[in-house]
Structure 1
Amino acid sequence: MQSLQTKIKDLDLEVYNLNTVVVGSGAAGFNAADRLHNYGQKDIALVTEGINQGTSRNTGSDKQTYYKLTLAGKEDDSVLEMAKTFYAGGSMDGDIALIEAALSAQSFYHLVDIGVPFPHNRYGEYVGYKTDHDPRQRATSAGPLTSKLMTENLEKEVKNKNIKIFDGYQVISVLTDENNEKAIGLLALNLNNLEDKNKRYTLFNCKNIVYATGGPAGMYATSVYPGSQTGATGIALEAGAMGKNLTESQYGIASIKFRWNLSGTYQQVLPRYVSTDQYGNDEREFLEEYFEDPGKMLDAIFLKGYQWPFDPKKVDDYASSIIDILVYNETVIKGRRVWLDFMENPSWGSMQDGELDFSILGEESYQYLENSNSLFGNPIQRLAKMNQPAIDLYKDNGIDITKEYLEIAVCAQHNNGGLDGDLWWESNLKNFFPVGEVNGSHGVYRPGGSALNSGQVGSTRAAQYIAANYQDGPLKLDKFLELAKAEIEKKIAMGEKFINNINESSTIIDIRTQIGERMTKNGAHIRSIEAAEKGIKESKKDLDNLLEESKLKSIKELPLAFQNYDMLITQYVYLSAINDYIKKGGISRGSYLIYDSDGELPIEALPEKFRFKAENDQLRDKIQRTFYNGNSCEFSWKEVKEIPEDDNWFENVWNKYMKHEIVK
């Protein structure tokens, strides 16, 4: 890596010349840097807004899942069978499905080798369990903080290799060549030196960019993403990277004071669902108003543990996802607050002494609790019996669920779509590799834990390809500046305009709040054509007027202003994709419900906006791709690629491998 100085207008800017920059310090980003070094490319650096920020390090669940090939027992499995599971989720290319299956064992064992404590038996078999959308028992876990452990151990590997980490650098532009066909570098804010105009902006002149910035978390108000995770999808779309399956995100019930998925045992212990007004008064148990009998209500709550993501296919006949709709109805439609109470049993279904009548449970719920020796007491006692760390987790974060209610909402949790990439995770924008959640490799449905596998596989593939094909150094500095100067000057001018709007009062957080509330109302798990169109108009207007409307209290809010810019581009493009999907005849699927006047209400007492259809998905074998041209969006729909049937005759593959014809 070479450090130089250059002059842009009246600013003396630092420029770093190197082969590859990895953007992001989550599990996918650290793995990309580690793999690049192992494959021989050592002229690399990692750039991050904050090394301790991001989703990988700061999220989990009662038992956070990692999905991989079956590696224990007598159950049949194969790479092809696993690929078929991915492919069956709909709107997923077969070559990507095959790759994610093929590299799952390699990626998993790499994590084991560097110290992630996945459990194995005395014979060395890495045992598994069944997760959602999983026909086998491929899931494993290192506990509630699996992705955190992955990130920490991968970080150690990167630091042991002395790979340079630029901590406190926020990327604000992906720089491209004159035809917007190839990425050539990055412009970043130096968060450590915002006051110094000559150190405020930093340039990276690089041959390759591995983009591991995570999902677009910041554009939702109700979100289980960590508050430190905002995403940077917008500036990649702005640079010309194609979007893929942007309609497909995952939503579910989570706590909102401390953001955490409420899956698994949090639901299986059968907590009480309570609604109050905004001040915590007028308490009532609202679920019983909608169910036919207490047994069905308790079974639906229990199954939320297994079936955590909202799914319109699990709404009819009082199935588990009706809980999500009823929570949304209370919080968004009625403007109330909803809480889980682990201290008392649901009154509907309990006997006079307050004990739960376990005899009214369905067979699956009853059997699980019986096998767990938990047919007794109240929810918190059952949770302590089955999963004491689930209680400790909240206590460690300032919430004692043994003594207080836990406020909840239906929250954005994961983006199955994202930026498009080929079978080496390279974007249509050459030399630009989106990996991890920012890459839209998943289809409509995906097995639980497959995102962690995908992040490791994708970052490994990108590193392989770069090491084999893109080993050259970056452009000469004068050529780099010639191609990128206009974009650099545009973004610096934007930054200086923000700074010139420093005022006694700030609008930055108000704008952020407005962005989040708009997406939660118009583009989350309850959707309609009218809501999408309304959101598109509002987000485009806000984007066009952002410079004038942004008032900063101090220069410390400059990074937030640039984040708002990124979020508004992202929101505009995502809502446009949703609108296009509905106009194309798209129905409720995955983790969202689309209003359809010809559909049915899941429960007659619910408002009209919950009327929907979830059958005959004519788009499940197609993939929507979105191109943002700076002013509007262009869409294309193509059939999914089938799972490849390659020539696997050993001698033929060996010959190609020895001639370096595989990685191309």
Structure 2
Amino acid sequence: MQFFITKIKDLNVEVYNLNTIVVGSGAAGFNAADRLYNYGQKDIAIVTEGINQGTSRNTGSDKQTYYKLTLAGEENDSVLEMAKTFFAGGSMDGDIALTEAALSAQSFYHLVDIGVPFPHNRFGEYVGYKTDHDPRQRATSAGPLTSKLMTENLEEVVKEKNIKIFDGYQVISVLTDENKEKVIGILALNLNNLEDKNKRYTLFNCKNVIYATGGPAGMYATSVYPDSQTGATGIALEAGAMGKNLTESQYGIASIKFRWNLSGTYQQVLPRYVSTDQSGNDEREFLEKYFEDPGKMLDAIFLKGYQWPFDPKKVHDYASSIIDILVYNETVIKGRRVWLDFMKNPSWSSDEEGNLDFSILGQETYEYLDNSNSLFGMPIERLAKMNQPAIDLYQDNGIDITKEYLEIAVCAQHNNGGLHANLWWESNLKNFFPVGEVNGSHGVYRPGGSALNSGQVGSTRAAQYITANYQGDPLELEEFLDSAKAEIVKKVNLGEKLANNLSDSSNVLEIKTKIGQRMSKIGAHIRSLKSAERGIRDSKNDLDNLFKNSELSSLRELSLAFQNYDMLITQYVYLSAIKDYIEKGGISRGSYLIYDSDGELPIDDLDEKFRFKAGNDQLNNKIQRVFYEGNSCEFNWDQVKEIPQDDNWFENVWNKYMKGKIIK
């Protein structure tokens, strides 16, 4: 790595020259750096806004799942069978599905080798369990904080290798050559030195960028993403990276004071759902108004435990996702607040003393609680019996659910779509590798925990390809600056205009809130063509006027202003993708419901916006791809690639491998 100082307008700007920059310090980013080093490319560094920020390190669930190939027992499984599971989720290319399956065991055992405590039996078999959209028992877990443990262990091995980490650097531009054909570097805000105009900006001139920036969490107000996760998809789209399956995300019920998925035993102990006015008064058990009988209500609550993501296929006939709709109806349509009460049983299904009538439960619910020795008491007592750490988790974060209600909402949780890449995780922009959640490798549905597998596989593939094909030095400094000058000057001018016009008041957080509220209301799990069109107009107007309308009271808020810029680009493109999907005849699927005037209401008393039509998904075998062109978006719909059937005769593969013809 080489260091220079160059002049941009009247500012001194630090420049680092190196082969590869990894942007992001989550599980995918750290794995990319570790793999690059192990494969022989050591001229590398990590750039991160904050090493302790992001989704991987700060999220989890009741039992956070990692999805892998079956590695125990007698159940038949294979790479091809796992690939078929991924492919069956819809709108996923077969070559990506096969690759994620093929590297599953390798990626999993790498995590085991560096100390992630996945459980195995006395023979060394890594046993599994069935997760959602999983025909086998491929799921495993290291507990509620699986991804945190992965990140911490990967960070440790990266630091042992003395790989340079630029901590406190926010990427504000992905730099390309003049033809927008390949990425040649990045421009970052140095958050550690914002007060010094000659250290405020840093350039990284590099041959490759591995982009592990996570999902676009910042554009949602109601979110289970950690507060520290914002995303940087917008500036990649601005640079010319292609988007893919941007309509596809997951949403589900989560707590909002401490952001956490409320899956598993949190639902299976059958808590009481109550709503109040904004002041916490006028308490109502609102679910009972909509169900035919208390037994069906309890079964729907129970099934939310392992059917956690909202799914329009599970709305009719009082299935589990009707719970999500009823929570949204209370919070968004009626403007009330919704809570889980673990201290009392639902009154509709209890006697005068508050004892639950377990005899009204469906067979699956009853047998689960019976097998767990939990056919007794109040929800909190059942939770303590089945999963005491679930109670401890909230106590550790300042919420005592043994004594207080837990406020909830339907929240954004994961982006299945994202940036396009090929089977080596290289974008349409050469030398640019989106990995982890920012990569749109998933289709409409995916098995629980497959995102963690995908992040490890994708970052490994990127490292393999770079080491085999993109070694060597980056551009000469003068050529780099000439090629990227226009974009560098544009972003520096925007930043300096704000920095030189500080005021006594600030509105950057207000703008961020407005962006989030818009997306959560019209671009999350309840959608319509009319609302998408309105959101497109509003987000584009806000983007065009952002820097003119932004007021900063301190230089620390430069970071927030550039985040708002990224989020508005992201929101504009995502809402445009939703509009395009609906206009192509797209129906409710995955984790969202689309209003259809010719459809049906799941329950008669609900608001008209919940009217939708179920049916055959005609776009299930196609992938939507998009280019952002500044004032518009260009969409293409491509047929999915089938799962490849290559020549796997050993001698033929060995011959190609020995001649270096595989990683091409």
If the TM-score is normalised by the length of the shorter chain, which range does it land in? over 0.9
Cα displacement string for residues 129-178 of structure 1 (whole angstroms, at most 9, x for unaligned residues): 00000000000000000000000000001000000000000000000001
Query: Which residue of 1 is the match for residue 113 of structure 2?
Result: 113
Distance in 1, matches of 2:52 and 2:118, equals: 23
Distance in 2, matches of 1:46 and 1:524, equals: 32
Distance in 2, matches of 1:400 and 1:549, equals: 42
Q: Shift in Å at residue 283 of structure 1? A: 0.2
Query: Which residue of 1 is the match for residue 234 of structure 2?
Result: 234
Which amino acid is 2:529 matched to? I
Name the TM-score, length of structure 1 as normaliser: 1.00
Query: Which residue of 1 is the match for residue 467 of structure 2?
Result: 467
Which amino acid is 1:581 matched to? Y
Query: Which residue of 2 is the match for residue 219 of structure 1?
Result: 219
Query: Which residue of 1 is the match for residue 377 of structure 2?
Result: 377
Cα displacement string for residues 241-275 of structure 1 (whole angstroms, at most 9, x for unaligned residues): 00000000000000000000000000000000000
Q: Shift in Å at residue 5 of structure 1? A: 1.0
Query: Which residue of 2 is the match for residue 571 of structure 1?
Result: 571
Q: Shift in Å at residue 352 of structure 1? A: 2.1
Which amino acid is 1:370 matched to? D
Contact kept in structure 2, 1:235 and 1:566, CA below 8 Å: yes
Name the TM-score, length of structure 2 as normaliser: 1.00
Give SS of 1:46's match.
strand
Q: Shift in Å at residue 413 of structure 1? A: 0.2
Cα displacement string for residues 470-513 of structure 1 (whole angstroms, at most 9, x for unaligned residues): 00210000000010111100000000112133111101011000
Query: Which residue of 2 is the match for residue 592 of structure 1?
Result: 592
- Identity, % of aligned pairs? 85
Give SS of 1:410's match.
strand
Which amino acid is 2:426 matched to? E
Which amino acid is 1:3 matched to? F
Query: Which residue of 2 is the match for residue 627 of structure 1?
Result: 627
| Count of matched residue positions in the alignment of Structure 1 and Structure 2 | 664
Distance in 1, matches of 2:413 and 2:308, equals: 11
Cα displacement string for residues 398-446 of structure 1 (whole angstroms, at most 9, x for unaligned residues): 0000000000000000000000000000000110000000000000000
Query: Which residue of 2 is the match for residue 409 of structure 1?
Result: 409
Cα displacement string for residues 613-638 of structure 1 (whole angstroms, at most 9, x for unaligned residues): 12110000000001001111000000
Which amino acid is 2:74 matched to? K
Query: Which residue of 2 is the match for residue 18 of structure 1?
Result: 18
Cα displacement string for residues 192-244 of structure 1 (whole angstroms, at most 9, x for unaligned residues): 00000000000000000000000000000100000000000000000000000
Distance in 2, matches of 1:581 and 1:346, equals: 40
Query: Which residue of 2 is the match for residue 177 of structure 1?
Result: 177
Give SS of 1:306's match.
coil
Distance in 2, matches of 1:488 and 1:353, equals: 69
Which amino acid is 1:579 matched to? K
**Counterparts of 1:332-343 in structure 2 under 5 Å?**
332-343=332-343
Give SS of 1:250's match.
strand
Contact kept in structure 2, 1:71 and 1:127, CA below 8 Å: yes
Distance in 1, matches of 2:286 and 2:594, equals: 24
Distance in 1, matches of 2:116 and 2:614, equals: 40
Contact kept in structure 2, 1:501 and 1:550, CA below 8 Å: no
User: What 5-or-longer segments of structure 1 have no aligned partner?
Assistant: none
Query: Which residue of 1 is the match for residue 643 of structure 2?
Result: 643
Distance in 2, matches of 1:631 and 1:41, equals: 39
Give SS of 2:304's match.
helix
Give SS of 1:636's match.
strand
Distance in 2, matches of 1:276 and 1:202, equals: 49
Query: Which residue of 2 is the match for residue 616 of structure 1?
Result: 616
Query: Which residue of 2 is the match for residue 84 of structure 1?
Result: 84
Give SS of 1:98's match.
helix
User: What 5-or-longer segments of structure 2 have no aligned partner?
Assistant: none
**Counterparts of 1:94-493 in structure 2 under 5 Å?**
94-493=94-493
Distance in 2, matches of 1:47 and 1:11, equals: 22
**Counterparts of 1:4-15 in structure 2 under 5 Å?**
4-15=4-15
Give SS of 1:348's match.
helix
Give SS of 1:75's match.
coil
Distance in 2, matches of 1:582 and 1:184, equals: 36
Contact kept in structure 2, 1:535 and 1:575, CA below 8 Å: yes
Q: Shift in Å at residue 553 of structure 1? A: 1.0
Distance in 2, matches of 1:367 and 1:484, equals: 64
Give SS of 1:229's match.
coil
Distance in 2, matches of 1:268 and 1:306, equals: 9
Distance in 1, matches of 2:461 and 2:617, equals: 32
Which amino acid is 1:648 matched to? N
Greater mean deviation of Cα atoms: 157-166 or 497-506:
497-506
Distance in 2, matches of 1:458 and 1:614, equals: 34
Query: Which residue of 1 is the match for residue 75 of structure 2?
Result: 75
Give SS of 2:267's match.
helix
Distance in 2, matches of 1:286 and 1:518, equals: 26
Which amino acid is 2:294 matched to? P
Query: Which residue of 2 is the match for residue 662 of structure 1?
Result: 662
Give SS of 1:580's match.
helix
Distance in 2, matches of 1:414 and 1:174, equals: 23
